[in-house]
Structure 1
Amino acid sequence: MLFIIAMGSQSTAFLWARDGLPGYTAVTEQMPDIWNARYPAPVESFEPDAQLRALRVIDGGRYVYYYHFTATVLRTQRAAEGTEMTTTGRRSIEVWARYRPWLSAAERWDVSLVRGDLLPGSNRSWITVGL
């Protein structure tokens, strides 16, 4: 059961997840495992959304939650064919961790690298999940 509590006249709704909607601390701790399950590139760090909000959408008739992160990855390149990969700096990429609470623990997390407006789903709303 989820409870949404409106704070005064503010339009932002705060979500209190009685049934375990994870906060950003828990998701940030899991992000290396979620990332490594899909991508072989090493990530230096994951920075959570500054406002600690998640995007809640309806996809297939169910709520899906997207947690927004900025990932810092090493920029690698190969000088010539057959040579070792070298690191030439860092770059930041937008990462969305998708949470589908109705799936098994092994399947409920996934990562998407698209812009937020291209994520699937309808009835979008930002919710504050906190730490």
Structure 2
Amino acid sequence: MSALRFGRSLKPFRRPWLWSALWCAAIAAVVISSLLPAADVPVPDMPNGDKLLHASAYLALAAMAVQLFPRWSSLLGAGIGLVLLGIGVEYAQGVLTVDRIADAQDALANTLGVIAGLGTRLTPLRDLLLKFDTRGS
């Protein structure tokens, strides 16, 4: 019987624990910042600046998933999970906070960010982290 290997669905990194932990930390940072009091979160001073912030955060999370996972099936799972996370966080804002509201347009911005982030899979940058991680080996 072969031993189970951590990160079987990940690209062949030298340090899969590190990159997975950083992605999880980024997800946690997005969730925490989404539930902070509104006054504590800097928002770009422009029309729909908060939507840009939402889309950017979820674009970054999805682009990080592209760096981690080699197969479309894994990316689809990560993408669906991120979309559901975005919807759940919006719901939590309405239920768990006193100065924030659940906003369907924010959830849409999150979803569009996920789609754009997954789109980086179609670019030459899709293996940037793998090249960085395995250089010199």
TM range (shorter): under 0.3
**Higher relative CO (CA 8 A, sep ≥ 6), structure 1 or 2?**
2
Structure with greater helix percent: 2
TM-score by length of 2: 0.26
- By percentage of residues, which structure has more strand? 1
Q: TM-score, normalised to structure 1's length? A: 0.27
